[in-house]
Structure 1
Amino acid sequence: MIEEAFGAFKRDHTPHFCPPPRSVNMSFAGKFQLESQENFEPFMRAIGLSDDLIQKGKDIKSISEIEVNGDHFKVTVTTGTKVMVNSFTLGQEGDLEMLTGEKVKAVVRQEGNKLITSLKGIESVTELVDPNTIESTMTVGGLKYKRISKRI
C-alpha cells in the first residue's frame, strides 16, 4: 500500500543513518569519579601490588581528570593522597606510569571512542561509552579488571 502511494522503490534494508561527525577527543576531556569496579583485588595482586596497598585503595573513589589538546592527552588520577599523571600523544611512544608506580614505554592509539595501549603485558582499553561515562578495562592473562567512572 505504501509502495503504491510513493511509487515503486527498492528496499535495501541497509541502515542509512550517519551521525554527524564530532570530535571524539574533546568528549574525553573532563573530570570523572570512580563509580564501580570489578575484580580490583585479584587484578592488583596479579600485577604485584601488596595486600596492604590493595586494602588501602579498594574503597577509595578515585578522580580522573583528562585534558585534551588535539592528539595530546594529560590524564591525572588522584586516589586518596596518591596522584598519578600520564601525558601522551596518540600514536607516539611515551613514558607511562603503571599502577605499580613503574614507568614503561608505550604507545596509546585511538579507535573511535576507545583509547588502547599495552603496558608490560597488561592490555588497557578506556572507552567513552556515553558523554558522561568512561569504562576502563585492564586485562592481564585471563584476568579482567573493570572500572566505571562518571563525569562530575
Structure 2
Amino acid sequence: MSFSGKYEVESEENYDNFMKRIGLPADAIEKGRHFKIVNEVTQNGDEFTWSQIYPGGKSITNKFVIGKESEMELVDSKKIKATMKMEGGKLVGAFPNFHYTAEIAGGKLVETSTVGDVTFKRISKRLA
C-alpha cells in the first residue's frame, strides 16, 4: 500500500514520556503537546519525501530511499544518518535513540516510536 497522501494528527499516546526520554526540553514538550502536525508523504516506489508541517509554518522534510542510508532531521533539529526498511508493509527505522515504525491501517497513518520501555503512538487521519 502506498503511503502517499496528506495526514493530520488526530490522537497521540505517551507524548510527554517519550519526548522526555529522547531529551526534548520541557518548554518544547509543552509547546508541541497540542500541535496538529500535518504529514505530507510522496512515495515513488522505494523513494520517499516525508514532510512534517507544524503550526506557524515550520516544517521538516526528509528524503530517503528504502534500504539506503540517508541523512534525516529529527524533531529536535538534530541531523542523523539512518536507513529505512520496509517490513511487511511497514516502514521501519532504527534511529540513534529510538525505534520507529509507520504503517497505513484503516486508511490512517499510524506512527509508533519506542525508546526503552516507553512507546509513543501517533495516529493521523487522511486529508488527501
Q: Shared fold by TM > 0.5?
A: yes
Counterpart AA for 2:126: R
CA drift at 1:59: 0.6
Which of these residues, 117, 121, 125, is aligned with residue 146 of structure 1? 121
Name structure 1 gaps, 5 residues minimum: 1-23
1:45-95 Cα deviation digits (max 9, x unpaired): 111111111111101110000011121000000121321111000000000
Separation of aligned partners in 1, 2:115 and 2:75:
13
- Matches of 2:31 and 2:55, distance apart in 1: 9
Cα distance, 1:136 vs structure 2: 0.4
Q: Match of 2:25, as an amino acid?
A: S
Aligned length: 126
Aligned to 2:54: 79
Q: Which has the higher contact order (CA 8 A, sep 6+)?
A: 2
Give per-residue Cα distances to partners, 1:76-115, cap 9 Å, x unaligned: 0012132111100000000011121111110000113200
Aligned twin of 1:105: 81
Question: Is contact 2:49–2:63 with CA below 8 Å preserved after alignment?
Answer: yes
Q: Where does 1:13-28 land on structure 2 (aligned, <5 Å)?
A: 24=1, 27-28=2-3
Q: Provide the residue aligned with 1:118 in structure 2.
A: 94
Task: Name the aligned partner's letter for residue 109 of structure 1.
Answer: K
C-alpha distance in 1, partners of 2:98/2:76?
Answer: 12
User: Structure 1 residue 93 and structure 2 residue 93: aligned?
Assistant: no
Q: Give the TM-score, by structure 2 length.
A: 0.94
* Mapped partners of 2:85, 2:97: distance in 1: 16
Higher percent of residues as strand? 2
- In structure 2, the gaps of 5 or more residues are none
| Higher gyration radius (CA) | 1
**C-alpha displacement at 1:35, in angstroms?**
0.6
